[in-house]
Structure 1
Amino acid sequence: MKFRDIFLLALRSVTANRLRSLLTITIIGVGITALVGINTGIESLKNGIFDSFASMGANGFMIRNRELNIRIGGGRNEAKKGSSKKKKVKTSNRNKYITYREAMEFKDRFVFPAIVSVWYRPGSVTVYHDSKKTNPNIPVIGGDENYLKYAGYDLQMGRDFNAVDLESSRNVAIIGQDVAKKLFGDQMKNVLNSAIRLGNVRYRVIGVLASKGSNNMFSADNTVLTTVSNVRRVFNRPNVSYSISVSVNDAKQIDAGIGEATGLLRIIRNLTIDEEDNFYITKNDSIAQMLFNSLAYVTFAAAGIAFITLLGSAIGLMNIMLVSVAERTREIGVSKAMGATKSIIRTQFLFEAIIISVSGGVLGVIFGILIGNIVSILLKASFIVPWMWMFLGITLCALVGLCSGIFPAIKASRLDPIVALRYE
């Protein structure tokens, strides 16, 4: 008997018990949907993260007063793991705030071929224009004349901050696309030189940012920029720490730039030779890698959900196959009486288990891709086809079917044809 004939016979047996088969296929499909769907969403998220940091360039680094910790799904990654390997020296005001004076002095004295930007984010506000207003979660960022270049922003209309804006700390603002559309509509005819309010403070709009597309996951289009000097005056509060972002002209010189920046900032902050750094430097690509590592926890969670579901499915599938053997004892006896060997009976029941399992896998892959890419659409990221997870999902289902079908298949093949024919 050919494998094709055995396969068709197994397929006919599966379709003869549609409800039972459909329920088992659905259970298996749920596990694969979780696995493929979550990992498709994660791949979309990774692409968005990569695009966001790629727009800032791989040749950039950021100086902060403390380590940048990112928590996703309970994970914790530290931006500067190398700091733990340093020889223990005298601690000098660890996490000491980087003051405005120190940040600006660094910018003035850093002679390395690079772009330096000093910025500070005081928080989020509600933005008003006439009777219209935004949600109260619009981030305000105070930057300098180099901030747009470092952050990868382009202007759709208007101008960047100039020296007069920075020196006078006057109330001027550049708004993102989402803010502009919320306050002025899609036409945005009279945006430039219009008055808006950040909370209770009036600002004049001097520019509108071009949309950053998939970078919207970081609210790149839902923000308001003003000068760092203005933020210092209007949103002044005690213990403010400013951030310094540096983009070197040549990516090959980034390590040299970091070394130069470290030495200069130690001098500015009056650190002695026996005192350790009281600031942290993080490369842009290191931040992206931190996020990728944190997302691994979500991947493990998805794999755990899928494993538990597939384990339950395997037990359920084995139970169904055992019931099927009991129900079809007489049928097996007839097949053996007509010349079917133990190998043919075993193969038939294994095919039935694999057909059910793989069908659930295909169903799960389809729904997983759909659900995962709905997440992509919401994040405005690119469409993802997770070939690896598709292949892994189908392979897992085939293995589940094989493992679940072995014992029932062996049991069916060992039935005595005479006893089986007499079975009622």
Structure 2
Amino acid sequence: MTYTENVQLALQSITSNRLRTMLTALIIAIGLSALVGILTTLDAVKKSMTEAFSSMGANSFNIRNRGSGIRIGGGQRPKPFKVIRYEDALTFKERLNTPAKVAVSVMATGGATVKFSTEKTNPNINIQGIDENGLASQGLELAQGRNFNLTETQSGSNICIIGSEVAQKLFKNQSPIDQIINVGNSRLKVVGVLVSKGQSMGFSGDRSVYVPLLKAKLINANANPSYTITVMVPSNDIMDNVIGEATAEFRKIRKIRVTDPNNFEITKSDAMAQTFFEQMQAIVWGGIAIGIITLLGASIALMNIMLVSVTERTREIGIRKAIGANPSVIRKQFLIEAIMICLMGGTLGIFLGIAIGNLISLGMGGSFIIPWQWIFGGFAVCVLVGIVSGYYPAKKASKLDPVEALRYE
């Protein structure tokens, strides 16, 4: 008997037991959707994180008063050191004698309302102070207008650069350049509009307003903010040397004694992503464990159904053996039937898993992906579950005595 005939017989059996088959396939679908959903979510978030950090440039590092704070589950919260002052950040920028470019930035407020004429935004606009290198350090590009110059950042000019979402909300179809907007209690002239970057891990540059560094210092909602220093190195070959120079220079500025440890954190942009990915492995293994446990239950249910099917079709097996079917043919028939039930449930489960995973990812600010490796892996798991669950019932069916099977009823 050919595989085509075995597939046709399997489809006939599945059609004659629709409810039982659907329930079993649904259990398999739930198991695979849990597995594929969790892994799809993690892949999508990982892709978003990689894009976010790569846009900042792989050859850069940050100097902050505390660690990145990336931790999953337990673990100690990074110890905060004393804040990095405005004066310290500018002194470092002037003194660092390397080929690297230095950018200084600070978050002024995270809940401002921006107004223009009768239009206004929701009170969720980030106001960030940057210098002339700030846009480059964050991987931001101008769609219209110009960047700040050195004089403007140091004099605190009443100008700003706005994100694309802010521009679209306030100005609709007109040009924002040289228009006056109200940002909180400040009146600022728009000199630039950024290219849309989308949202990454909850932060959106499109929903931000960038002001000169000194202006941010004057309007900052925090009385004692800590500034972030970003050092952009032209080549990865000299990264370690520049980090060494930066560490020594900033220790002098902070007046740290030789015997004392650093009271600031230096973090490479890609190192932050790698730390996050390493700590996410626990979630990956947790997702795999949940999927395996659910699939184990599904495989037991499938084996039980196949054993019932063998018992119900004992006479049919006897007739087929009497007309020449050998044990190998009978065994293949029941194995193919088990695999087909798994593939039916697996197809639904993989589709649901990808949909759920991407919905969660988009809700977290991640991107949409089609995880081909999990799709092919899911189908491979379906075939494996079908073989494992169907082998014993198929073997039992192939060993039935044709005479006893014909007398069964």
Q: Same fold (TM over 0.5)?
A: yes
Distance 1:272 1:309 in 2: 58
CA contact (8 A) 2:49 2:201 kept: no
Q: Deviations over 1:128-185 (max 9, x none)?
A: 2233222222211111111011111111122212233223213321110001111111
Residues matched between the structures, number: 408
Unaligned runs of 5+ in 1: 80-92
Quote how far apart the aligned CAs of 1:244 are.
0.3
Deviation at 1:370, TM superposition (A): 4.6
Distance, in Å, in 2 between the alignment partners of 1:192 and 1:2 is: 73
Residue 404 of structure 1: how far off its partner (Å): 1.1
Cα 1:225–1:243 shift into 2, 3 Å: same
Q: What is the alpha-carbon distance in structure 2 between the residues aligned to residue 63 and residue 377 of structure 1?
A: 30
Q: How does 1:300-379 map to 2 (within 5 A)?
A: 300-372=285-357
CA distance in 1, matches of 2:140, 2:228: 18
RMSD (Å), alpha carbons: 2.6
Select which of 358, 373, 377 maps to 1:392: 377
How far, CA to CA, are the matches of 1:109 and 1:366 in structure 2? 56
Look up the match of 2:136. 149
- Percent of aligned pairs with the same amino acid: 47
Decide which of 79, 85, 96 is 1:110's aligned counterpart: 96
What's the counterpart of residue 89 of structure 1? Answer: none
Cα deviation, 1:238-294, whole Å, max 9, x if unaligned, reads 432111000012221111110110010111111111111111111111122123234
User: Aligned equivalents of 1:388 and 1:421: distance in 2?
Assistant: 47
Q: Deviations over 1:294-314 (max 9, x none)?
A: 443443343233223212211
Q: 1:413 aligns with which of 377, 398, 402?
A: 398
Structure 1 stretch 104-113 or stretch 221-230: which is displaced more? 221-230
TM alignment of 1:56-95, pairs within 5 A: 56-71=56-71, 74=73, 95=81
Of stretches 48-57 and 12-21 in structure 1, the one that deviates more from structure 2 is 12-21
Is the contact between residue 109 and residue 220 of structure 2 (CA under 8 Å) also seen in structure 1? no
Task: Label 1:95 to 1:32 Cα distance change in 2 as closer, same or farther (>3 A).
Answer: same
The amino acid across from 1:95 in the alignment is F
Alignment-derived partner of residue 40 in structure 1: 40
Distance, in Å, in 1 between the alignment partners of 2:95 and 2:155 is 22
Whether 1:220 aligns to 2:205 is yes
2:140 pairs with 1:121: no
CA–CA separation in structure 2 for the residues paired with 1:47 and 1:94: 29
Name the counterpart of 2:55. Answer: 55
The alignment partner of 2:102 has SS state of strand
Q: How many Å separate the matches in 2 of 1:161 and 1:138? A: 20
User: Is there any run of 5+ residues in structure 2 with no aligned partner, and where?
Assistant: none
SS at the partner of 1:112? coil
Deviates more, 1:281-290 or 1:41-50: 41-50
Tell me how far apart the structure 2 counterparts of residues 285 and 416 of structure 1 sit (CA, whole Å): 66
1:250 to 235, 238, 255: 235
For 2:264, the equivalent position in structure 1 comes to: 279
For 1:24, give the aligned amino acid. Answer: T
Give the 3-state SS of the residue equivalent to 1:385 in structure 2: coil
Alpha-carbon contact 1:68-1:78 (below 8 Å) kept: no
Letter in 1 for 2:43: E
- SS of the residue corresponding to residue 70 of structure 1 reads coil
Q: Alpha-carbon deviation of 1:213?
A: 5.1
Residues 1:175 and 2:162 are matched in the alignment: yes
Structure 1 counterpart of 2:61, one-letter code:
F
What is the SS of the residue equivalent to 2:207? coil
Q: Among residues 151, 155, 158, which one is paired with 1:164 in the alignment?
A: 151
Structure 2 residue identity aligned to 1:122: A
* Distance change (3 Å), C-alpha of 1:122 and 1:382: closer
Deviations 1:295-344 (A, max 9, x none): 43443343233223212211211121122122112212222222333333
Deviations 1:212-259 (A, max 9, x none): 257696412111111221111111534321110000122211111101
CA distance in 2, matches of 1:137, 1:156: 22
- Any conservation in 2 of the 1:78–1:290 contact (CA below 8 Å)? no
Instruction: Give the AA of the match of 1:178.
Output: E
Deviation at 1:416, TM superposition (A): 3.0
Residue 24 (structure 1) aligns with: 24
- Tell me if structure 1 keeps the 8 A contact 2:67–2:80: no
Give the aligned partner of residue 130 of structure 1. 117
Q: What TM-score do the two structures reach when normalised by structure 2?
A: 0.90
1:422 and 2:403 are equivalent in the alignment: no
Name the CA distance, whole Å, in 2 between partners of 1:164 and 1:376.
Answer: 42
Q: 1:295 to 1:220 in 2, by over 3 A?
A: farther
Equivalent position SS for 2:206:
coil
Residue 90 of structure 1 aligns with which residue? none
The AA in structure 2 aligned to 1:182 is K
Contact persistence 1:77–1:290 (CA under 8 A): no
Mapped partners of 1:216, 1:183: distance in 2: 25
- 1:3 Cα shift? 4.3
The residue type paired with residue 174 of structure 1 is: I
Q: Which moved more, 1:145-154 or 1:160-169?
A: 160-169
